[in-house]
């Protein structure tokens, strides 16, 4: 009997955790890039207030100029791992990627970010 109770509690817990996520079929909405966008005004550290599919917290994005490639930028994302944050272990994740304007775009706001593991 105790094993059925443990199984019921485990399934209830998993269902509660899964209910926090939603999955949708189809493509993302088309978003019109901002007119008159000035990347130089956008440079610096930004605090992320919402991001999907992450258990991390306290996310920041830091946008800097890529000195080796004119017109390109660097993006460093830093987040804290919630479980490792309870220990003395370094719990910061750092992802660095490249950000560049799309060549076929007529606006500077239409850019693509590439991280080392993305294609």
Per-residue pLDDT tens digits for 15-74: 555 555 556 677 878 888 888 888 899 999 999 887 766 666 778 999 999 999 988 999
pLDDT (0 to 100) of residue 1: 59
Domains of the chain by start residue, with CATH: 37-119 (2.40.128.20)
In DSSP notation, 17-56 reads: HHTT-----SPPPP-PPPTT--HHHH-EEEE----SS---
**Higher-confidence position of 94 and 13:** 94
pLDDT (0 to 100) of residue 65: 95
Please calculate the CA angle 90-61-34 and round it to the nearest 5 degrees. Answer: 165
Residue 75 has pLDDT above 90, yes or no: yes
Structure tokens at 65: 């100029």
Residue 73 in contact with residue 100, Cβ under 8 Å? yes
pLDDT (0 to 100) of residue 64: 95
Number of Cβ within 10 Å of residue 34's Cβ equals: 12
């Amino acid at each position: 009997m105790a094993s059925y109770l443990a199984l019921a509690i485990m399934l209830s817990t998993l269902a509660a955790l899964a209910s926090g996520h939603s999955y949708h079929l189809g493509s993302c909405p088309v978003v019109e890039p901002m007119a008159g966008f000035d990347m130089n005004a956008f440079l610096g550290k930004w605090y992320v207030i919402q991001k999907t599919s992450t258990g991390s917290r306290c996310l920041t994005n830091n946008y800097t100029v890529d000195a080796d490639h004119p017109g390109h930028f660097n993006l460093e994302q830093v987040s804290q791992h919630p479980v490792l944050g309870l220990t003395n272990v370094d719990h910061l994740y750092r992802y660095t990627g490249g950000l560049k304007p799309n060549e076929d775009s007529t606006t500077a706001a239409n850019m693509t970010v590439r991280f080392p593991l993305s294609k």
